[in-house]
């Protein structure tokens, strides 16, 4: 009798969780409500219908939001500052110009992928597009190359980094939820991400560029490319500044692997500077000098840059925090445990489970961030009951799922459509297919890596 009651109770928890997720999806996708508000509503609804006291629901929501943003908000803020310094100094332009010259005209589409992969490390996907579109338009005009042939590799590089590579907020959400090692995640993300970006970028870009011919809006080209000449920072110092947070985080993980008990002072120091918050703080301060004062900017300029770049991040920070609240209510209400027992009882591979959950939410809501934050709460309890699972690969699987099938409910879809001056069918055939190739290719490589490791 107890067993039967337990089963019916679990079934009730799962049904209400499904209802909450459907409500979340409908309000975001159909009624266009702000995801932050919707996630809070879904969190409170789920807690109350599953028998939690009102005060407990509020404590769960506020506690989950606060815990999630504890480090993520700092990472987003510092990463945004680093990206802003790169943009204002001309560092992104220098990296692009240097690599395009090194690769040559015939391989310019490969150069654009590498540029986007590097430039995209400290900045949001949307900011990366704004930053690189002028370079894309200029290169397309100078080399007389198909806009999609070089544009798709650029988008693939930005999207790959956005979904898979820390310190981007999306993978950082999963790293925090799953308690993954950030250094190993970076290493696996590079192993998976580089070939994925190649296939979805230069390979697919060359194919689709021959079949869809588009020309950017002339007014947009003039607006983005008519800029005053300026002296750019050196390639080496710019590259070092952009990659510094990754280098520091990898150093921390290597030290941890080499000396797991932290018996030496060097290990302790490396672990300290390898923490994502410290690594990004060091990198942002270094950028103030290498891309700020060294470029002739004064203290007022740098203060202005670092202040104005934070305002656009408010929305994404709140959405991530609300996703953390939803995750905590899932766990505190018992839904997480019920999902975990169902998934483990059905012997579902946790990597496959993470990918599918994230992919379904991505397709339904159109937001990679919402997909990652919501999926993290659903997958975490399953992962806790799956001993021996490679946690870092589960992070990547969640990220890969969050990139799949971008379509008309995704703001990125419309951004790409307008910048590339495409019709909706053309955007579906190029951007949407590229995102899907990227997602599925990454997922296959994650599964292969899971067997090898």
**Looking at 34-48, 325-339, 393-407, which range is the least confident one?**
325-339
As given in the structure block, the two tokens for residue 223 are 């607006």
Q: pLDDT per residue over 372-406, tens digit each?
A: 888 888 888 888 888 888 999 999 999 999 999 88
Q: What is the pLDDT of residues 412-445, one digit of tens each?
A: 787 788 778 888 889 889 999 999 999 999 999 9
CA distances, 336 to each of 104, 186, 326, 380 (Å): 52, 27, 11, 8
* This prediction's pTM: 0.76
The first and second tokens of residue 142, run together, are 């100078």
Radius of gyration of the chain (CA): 22
Cα–Cα distance for residue pair 221/134, rounded to 1 Å: 7
Q: Which residue has the tokens 């942002």?
A: 284
Closest CA to 302 of 79, 72, 76, 86: 86
Burial call 28-42: b when 16+ CB within 10 Å, e when fewer: bbeeeeebbebbbbb
- Residues 301 and 210: their CA atoms lie apart, in Å, by 44
CA distance 106 to 91: 24
Rounded Cα distance between 297 and 313, Å, is 24
- Report the range of poorest mean pLDDT among 51-55, 257-261, 281-285: 257-261
CA distance 267 to 254: 9
Distance, in Å, from the CA atom of 34 to the CA atom of 49, rounded to the nearest integer, reads 23
| Sign, Cα dihedral of 371, 376, 378, 383 | positive
Residue 154 above 50 pLDDT?
yes
Residue in 386, 396, 409 with CA at minimum distance from that of residue 438: 396
Q: Kindly tell me if the per-residue pLDDT of 207 is higher than 50.
A: yes
One DSSP character per residue, 259-326 reads: -TT--SHHHHHHHHHHSHHHHHHHHHHHHHHHTTGGGT--HHHHHHHHHHTTGGGHHHHHHHHHHHHH
Res. 233: pLDDT tops 60:
yes
pLDDT at 45 over 90: yes
pLDDT of residue 1: 36
Report residue 115's pLDDT band, with 50, 70 and 90 as the boundaries: confident
Q: Torsion angle of alpha carbons 180, 443, 109, 90, nearest 10°?
A: -20
Question: Is 344 buried (19+), middle (13-18) or exposed (0-12) by CB count in 10 A?
Answer: middle
Q: Lowest mean pLDDT: which of 43-57, 236-250, 341-355?
A: 341-355
């Amino acid at each position: 009798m107890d067993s039967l009651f337990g089963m019916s109770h679990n079934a009730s928890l799962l049904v209400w969780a499904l209802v909450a997720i459907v409500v979340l999806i409908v309000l975001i996708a159909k009624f266009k409500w702000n995801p932050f508000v919707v996630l809070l509503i879904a969190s409170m609804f789920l807690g109350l219908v599953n028998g939690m006291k009102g005060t407990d629901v509020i404590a769960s929501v506020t506690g989950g939001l606060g815990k999630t943003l504890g480090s993520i908000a700092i990472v987003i803020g510092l990463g945004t500052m680093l990206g802003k310094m790169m943009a204002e100094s001309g560092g992104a332009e220098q990296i692009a110009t240097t690599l395009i010259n090194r690769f040559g005209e015939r391989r310019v589409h490969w150069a654009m992928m590498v540029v986007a992969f590097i430039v995209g490390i400290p900045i949001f996907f949307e900011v990366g597009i704004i930053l690189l579109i002028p370079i894309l338009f200029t290169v397309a005009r100078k080399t007389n190359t198909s806009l999609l042939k070089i544009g798709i590799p650029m988008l693939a590089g930005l999207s790959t980094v956005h979904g898979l590579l820390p310190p981007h907020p999306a993978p950082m959400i999963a790293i925090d939820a799953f308690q993954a090692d950030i250094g190993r995640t970076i290493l696996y993300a590079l192993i998976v991400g580089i070939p994925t970006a190649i296939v979805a970028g230069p390979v697919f870009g060359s194919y689709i560029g021959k079949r869809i011919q588009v020309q950017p809006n002339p007014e947009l080209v003039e607006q983005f490319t008519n800029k005053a000449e300026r002296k750019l920072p050196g390639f080496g110092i710019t590259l070092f500044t952009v990659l510094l947070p990754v280098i520091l985080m990898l150093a921390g993980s290597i030290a941890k692997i080499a000396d797991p008990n932290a018996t030496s002072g060097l290990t302790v120091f490396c672990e300290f500077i390898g923490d994502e918050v410290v690594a990004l703080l060091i990198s942002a301060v270094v950028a103030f000098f290498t891309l700020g004062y060294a470029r002739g900017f004064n203290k007022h300029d740098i203060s202005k840059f670092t202040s104005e770049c934070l305002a656009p991040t408010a929305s994404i920070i709140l959405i991530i925090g609300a996703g953390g609240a939803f995750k905590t209510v899932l766990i505190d209400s018992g839904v997480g445990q019920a999902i975990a027992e169902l998934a483990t009882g059905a012997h579902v591979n946790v990597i496959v489970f993470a990918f599918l959950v994230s992919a379904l939410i991505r397709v339904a809501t159109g937001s990679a961030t919402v997909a990652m934050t919501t999926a993290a709460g659903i997958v975490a309890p399953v992962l806790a009951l799956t001993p021996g699972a490679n946690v870092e690969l589960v992070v990547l699987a969640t990220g890969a799922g969050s990139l799949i099938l971008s379509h008309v409910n995704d703001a990125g879809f419309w951004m790409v459509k307008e910048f590339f001056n495409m019709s909706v069918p053309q955007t579906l055939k190029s951007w949407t297919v590229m995102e899907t190739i990227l997602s599925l290719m990454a997922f296959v490589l994650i599964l292969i890596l899971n067997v090898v490791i």
